[in-house]
Amino acid sequence: MLRLSQVLSEHTHLDAEDRAWLQGLVREWHLLADTSFSDLVLWLPDGDDENVFWAGAQIRPTTGPTALVDEVVGSDISYDPESLVTAAWLSRQITAASQNRADGIPVEVVAIPIVRHGQVIGIVERHTNRMGVRAPGALEDTYLAVANTLGQMLLGGEFPMDPPSDPTTSPRVGDGLLWIDTDGTVTYASPNAVSCLRRLGFVGDLVGDDVRRLAPELAEEFTRELSAAEAHEPRRAAWEVTVEVPQASVRMRVLPMVTECGWVATVALCRDVTALRERERQLVTKDATIREIHHRVKNNLQTVAALLRLQSRRMSSPEGRDALRDAMRRVQSIAAVHEILSQGFNECVEFDDIADRILLMAGDVASAAGQVDARREGSFGPVPGTIATSLAMVLTELCQNAIEHGLRTHNGEVLVRAERSNTELVLEVIDDGAGLPEGFDLPERSSLGLSIVSTLITDLGGEFALTDNNDGDGATARVHIVWSHPD
C-alpha cells in the first residue's frame, strides 16, 4: 500500500512545510476518528490538475464499525463535481451528505477543508457507518461535540496541536476523556476517565468539580490556560502531565479547543499508566544493577592488573617479566570495556574511548624503547558489548605487535584506522617500521599475541590479514568484522 509521503511526492506540489503539517495531522487524527465514530480519508489536490484529488491516508475508528471496507489510499477522484471533496475544495466550507451508501450500508459523509495560510491544502473526509450507529447518550453526545469542534479547528488551521503525542505513552480517546468548560468545571467524564481518577483516590461524580482541585499538576497548567484566555490570547498548544500517588499513576494529555470563535472548551485524555511506570522502575533498577556489576568487574580486573604489575617487578627473568606485563595490558584492555559499560544504560559501548585508552597504554609502554606516536583515524562508533571485549583484546595485541616487532627500538608511528558502516567494521593497525620478515607466513607463526588475535577474530567470524605496506616501510594488520544485528 502507498504511504502518505509517496502520494505527496508523486502527485502534489505542496511545499515542505505543508507536507510536514499533513503528516503531523495523520499522526494525530485518531482523535477525530474515534470521537466521530468515523473512518477518515485524507484527499490531496493533484499538482497539475485542480479537478483531481488523491487519497493519501486512511484511518478507521476504534470506537465504532468501519464504513470503508477497502483501502482507498492511492485512488483518485477525477472530474466529479458531485463529490463532497470537490464541493469542500471549491466552497472552502464543511460539506455533508447523509444519503450515501457503501456496500449496501448507509453512510454519512462529511468533507472538511484543511486551510493553512489562506489556502486549502487538502480535504479530510469523514465516513460514518449509520447502520452500526451507537445509541445516543452522554458519552456519544460528548464525543460528537469534540469531533465537531475538531472539524472547526481543522478548518481554521488549529489542529493538530504541538507538541505531538507519543504513541507509546500518550492517552487516546478510549483510555478516558474529560470535557472541561472554560471556567475549569468538568462537564463530562467518560467511564474510563472516572476509573483512572478513582485510582488516584478521587471520589464523587467528578462532573461539576473544578479540574484544578483534582491534582496540583493540573492546577498549575490549567491556571495558565485560564489566564491566557482572559488576556484574549487562548493557549493553542497541547500539554501532558503525569499525576502520581503512591498507589497509581495517570498520564493526561490536555488539548485546548480553540476555534475562530475563541477558546470553547478543553479536552483531557486520561490513561492509567500504573503498570507501565512499575515496569519502568523495574527496568531502571535492572539497569542500575547491571551497571554496578560492570563497575565491580572493572575494579576486580584493575586489581588483577595491579597484582601482575607488582609481580613483574619482582621477576628476575626478563622473559617472565615481559610475559607478566603483556598479561597486565590484556587485563587492562578488558577492564576499559567494563568501565565504559558501567557508565551507560545499554549493552553497547562507544569504542572510540576504549581505543584511545589502549593507544595511550601502548604509547606509555613504548616510551622506554623509543618515541612512538600512536594515534587513531576514523571512528569505531557504538559496538555491542559482546564484541567490544574481544575487539579491545585484538586492538591491544596488534598495537603491541606493531611497537615491539614493527618499530622495535626505533622511533616511529602507529596509526589505528577504523571504518564503520552499520554492522560492519574494518580495523587497520599500520606502522612505519621494518616490515615483515622475509618469508613471513601468518598461519605458521607461533607468537602468542598473533595467536590470540587469530583465535578471537575466528570466534567473531571475521577475517585477519598481516601484510607489508605497498607504499613504503612498515606493515599493516587488517581486521574485518561483520555482526548479525544492528546496534
Q: Confidence class of residue 3 from pLDDT cuts 50, 70 and 90? A: confident
Residue-wise pLDDT tens digits, 255-265: 999 888 888 99
- The per-residue pLDDT for 39 is 94
Mean pLDDT of 225-249: 84
Query: Which residues, 6 or more positions from 374, have their beta carbon under 8 angstroms from its beta carbon?
Result: 359, 360, 362, 363, 366, 399, 403, 413, 414, 416
Confidence class for position 442, pLDDT limits 50, 70, 90: confident
Place of cell 464543511: 94
With vertex at residue 199, the alpha carbon angle to CA 194 and CA 200, rounded to the nearest 5 degrees, is 100
Domain coverage including residue 309: 276-337
pLDDT (mean) for 115-141: 87
pLDDT at site 15: 92
Most confident segment among 17-21, 195-199, 281-285: 17-21
**Which pLDDT does position 436 carry in this prediction?**
83
Let me know whether 8 and 151 are in one domain.
yes
Strand order from edge to edge, sheet including 186-189: 186-189, 177-180, 262-272, 248-259, 239-245
- pLDDT at position 331, please? 83
Residues 327 and 230 in one domain: no
φ and ψ at residue 53, rounded to 5 degrees: -130, 145
Q: Is residue 164 part of a domain?
A: no
The phi and psi torsions of 182 (rounded to 5 degrees) equal: -70, -10
Q: Note the residue count of the chain.
A: 487
Tell me the average pLDDT across 195-222. Answer: 84
Contact 251/242 with Cβ under 8 angstroms? yes
Three cell numbers, residue 386:
559482546
pLDDT of res. 445: 64
Number of domains the chain contains? 4
In this predicted structure, what is the pLDDT of residue 99? 67
Q: Could you tell me where the DSSP H helices lie in 315-403? A: 318-341, 351-366, 385-401
The pTM of the full predicted model, rounded to 2 decimals, is 0.63
- What is residue 486's predicted lDDT score, i.e. its pLDDT? 47
Q: Which residues, 6+ apart, have CB-to-CB distance to 478 below 8 Å?
A: 426, 427, 428, 463, 464, 465, 466, 467
> Does residue 296 fall inside a structural domain?
yes
Question: What distance in Å separates the CA atoms of residue 59 and residue 68, rounded to the nearest whole number?
Answer: 10
Q: What percent of the chain has pLDDT over 90?
A: 32
Of 117-121, 128-132, 299-303, which has the strongest mean pLDDT?
A: 117-121
410 shares a domain with 379: yes
Q: Does 432 lie in the same domain as 368?
A: yes
Distance CA 457, CA 290 (A): 27
Domain membership flag for residue 47: yes
Question: What's the average model confidence in pLDDT over 117-136?
Answer: 85
CATH number at residue 403: 3.30.565.10
Instruction: Confirm whether 208 is domain-assigned.
Output: yes
Kindly state whether residues 47 and 182 are assigned to the same domain.
no
Q: Is the pLDDT at 47 greater than 80, yes or no?
A: yes
Tell me what pLDDT residue 409 has: 61
Mean pLDDT of the chain: 84
Identify whether 166 is part of a domain: no
Measured distance CA(130)–CA(134) in Å, rounded: 9
- Looking at the structure, tell me whether residues 301 and 422 fall in a common domain: no
In a domain, 160, yes or no: no
Q: Are residues 39 and 110 in the same domain?
A: yes
Of 105, 120, 155, the residue that ends a domain is 155
Between 268-272, 401-405, 458-462, the lowest mean confidence (pLDDT) is in: 401-405
Q: What is the model's pLDDT at position 367?
A: 46
Same domain membership, residue 360 and residue 231: no
Residue 458 lies in a domain: yes
Cell of 341: 559499560
Those residues with Cβ within 8 angstroms of residue 202's Cβ, 6 or more apart along the chain or in another chain: 214
Q: Is 289 strand, coil or helix? A: helix
